[in-house]
Structure 1
């Protein structure tokens, strides 16, 4: 779970990816595409530019 209380499974389902792949993204083992950054920001309800800092 992240600090907002969302689980990998929930985020992965919303993105249409596996929970395992989401874990790899969060662990820094997979790079994010621009499309995934935007999709994740929408799921989390945050501005996508937070990923750029």
Structure 2
């Protein structure tokens, strides 16, 4: 049970600092932006238009 909880908690880190690598969900390249000096990594295919509003 502990392994499942631990895995779910860290699910959001699957693309953290992995810019240029393939997305684990769809295989597209992970993009990185650096607003205010903080790196944000995201998949443009899995998160279209949802990063900034």
Do they fold alike, i.e. is TM over 0.5?
Answer: no
- TM-score, normalised relative to structure 1: 0.26
Of Structure 1 and Structure 2, which has the larger fraction of its residues in helix?
1
Instruction: Looking at secondary structure, tell me which structure has more strand per residue.
Output: 2
TM-score (norm 2): 0.26
